[in-house]
Structure 1
Amino acid sequence: MMKKNIPKAGFTLAKIAVGGAILVGLGMATMAYAQSKPLAVVDKIELDRYLGVWYEIARKPMYFQNKCGSNVSATYTLNENGNVTVDNRCYTQDGKLMQSIGEAFVQNPPFNSKLKVSFLPEAVRWLPVARGDYWILKIDDDYQTVLVGEPRRNYMWVLSRTQHPEQSVINEYLDYAKSVGYDLGDLIHTKQTVK
């Protein structure tokens, strides 16, 4: 009668642990590589098509949105000096409307894919200080869904023209965000209800 070699449970678990560690290490190395590459923006944005209302579908946490509970939106309109007026709105957990008006300045005309946004008081908004990066990273041909971020990859938003886009579209944009180095472990899925 021949003896069968049966692997011991400890040895098998060790192999699984080593394999898991290798996979985690490869994932972290891939993310580190993606984060070390410069963040690419879309080739060109037609500002007139980009204007209008966008609904926030998902975001990474940002301090000035800490009180936002639902129905986050941004409305963009062209102002008289050629910049873009930004009207951000959301509702708090207890249903109060919060609104913040700012101005976006195109940084790379005529491509219009890199902007700086200021929420300083209007009288001093022209000063080139306290402006946040607003980079357009991915957008569909019909200007229905967009991924917006900034070069350090700390902040990111998925915006849509509708409050409830298809999940497959959301997944496509989130997968793209991951592929360019965003950590989505703290992602917030925005609650949108009809108001």
Structure 2
Amino acid sequence: MASKKEMEVVRGLDIKRYMGRWYEIASFPSRNQPKNGADTRATYTLNEDGTVHVRNETWSDGKRGSIEGTAYKADPKSDEAKLKILCREPHMDEAIYNQLVEKATSEGYDVSKLHRTPQSDNPPEAEESPQDTKGIWWIKSIFGK
């Protein structure tokens, strides 16, 4: 479900800061992801035309599943505008996670449907972490052009 409030648009976003790998800490169930998926992550790469190339990966029963595409701005009124909590590291501090869940609740999300994504201490096919600020990104919609 989308938020009861209008989704906020971040203006003047430095899109390059968000490129690289993000680990999924929690998300609402999606028909595009297996229910028992673990080590789910997203890797964003900026295309020359300003769009964003997205590679989503998840492991289910020891097998890697992935999907790639180009990100465009999601319609906030669509149920495709999903809530996800992502972090630069596979594990998030519990206090910060709880703050984000509280924020989601205050914005009208039904957090009872939020699913914690299992993340192992040594993610499969570990690559170097993006040389970037280790921040948390609150995703409400996907980047526009």
Q: TM-score if structure 2 supplies the norm length?
A: 0.74
Distance 1:152 1:101, change over 3 A: closer
Partner amino acid, structure 1, of 2:106:
S
Partner amino acid, structure 2, of 1:163:
P
Larger RCO, structure (CA 8 Å, separation 6 or more) = 2
Question: d(CA) in 2 for partners of 1:57 and 1:50?
Answer: 16
Q: Report the equivalent of 1:63.
A: 31
Q: Report the secondary structure of 1:63's partner residue.
A: coil
Deviation digits for residues 145-188 of structure 1, max 9, x if unmatched?
A: xxxxx445772100000001111111111111111110011110
Q: Report the equivalent of 1:6.
A: none
Distance 1:152 1:162, change over 3 A: same
Residue of structure 2 aligned with 1:160, choices 81, 87, 91:
87
Question: d(CA) in 2 for partners of 1:68 and 1:102?
Answer: 23
Question: d(CA) in 2 for partners of 1:155 and 1:64?
Answer: 12
Q: Report the equivalent of 1:170.
A: 97
Higher helix share goes to which structure? 1
Q: Report the equivalent of 2:68.
A: 101
1:39 and 2:15 aligned: no
Q: Report the equivalent of 1:54.
A: 22
1:184 and 2:111 aligned: yes
Question: d(CA) in 2 for partners of 1:67 and 1:179?
Answer: 26
Please state how far the C-alpha of 1:68 moved relative to its aligned partner: 5.0
Q: Give structure 2 stretches of 5+ with no counterpart.
A: 125-145
Count of aligned residue pairs for this structure pair: 119
Counterpart contact for 1:178–1:184, Cα < 8 Å: yes
Quote the RMSD (CA, aligned, Å): 1.9
Q: Give structure 1 stretches of 5+ with no counterpart.
A: 1-33, 106-114, 117-132, 134-149
Where has structure 1 moved over 6 Å in runs of 4 or more? Answer: none
Distance 1:39 1:81, change over 3 A: closer
Deviation digits for residues 101-148 of structure 1, max 9, x if unmatched?
A: 01013xxxxxxxxx24xxxxxxxxxxxxxxxx4xxxxxxxxxxxxxxx
1:77 and 2:4 aligned: no
Counterpart contact for 2:20–2:43, Cα < 8 Å: yes
Counterpart contact for 2:27–2:85, Cα < 8 Å: yes
Counterpart contact for 1:39–1:180, Cα < 8 Å: no
